[in-house]
Amino acid sequence: MTDLTHIRPDRMISVREVFGIDTELQVPAFSEAEDHVPDVDPAYRFNPDVTLALLAGFSRDRRVMMVQGLHGTGKSTHIEQVAAR
C-alpha cells in the first residue's frame, strides 16, 4: 500500500470555474492526478448544495457526513467526481 500521508494540495481552484457554482469559494487542489484519482466524467452534473458541503469539508480537512440517499442514487459517484476535478 502506498503511503500518501505526505502528499498535500499545491494550488487553489475556483469553485465557480471548476464546478459552475455561483460562489467565491476557492478550495485546495492537486496540480497532477495520480493513480488513486477517478477519471472525470464530463457529462456529470453536480448538485450545488451537496458539492459545496463536500468542498467545505475537504478544504478544512474535516469529515463530511451529510451525504445520504438510497442505494444507487449517486452518492459515491458525486464524491468521486468532486475528487476527479
Given a contact cutoff of 8 angstroms between Cβ atoms, the answer to whether 52 and 64 are in contact is no
SS3 50: helix
Name the pTM for this structure: 0.78
Query: Minimal CA–CA distance to 19: which of 40, 46, 41?
Result: 46
Collapse the DSSP code of 15 into the 3-class scheme (helix H, G, I; strand E, B; otherwise coil) and give the result.
helix
Written as tens digits, the pLDDT of the chain (85 aa) is 667 677 788 999 999 999 999 999 999 999 988 888 899 999 999 999 999 989 988 888 777 776 777 888 878 898 899 989 9
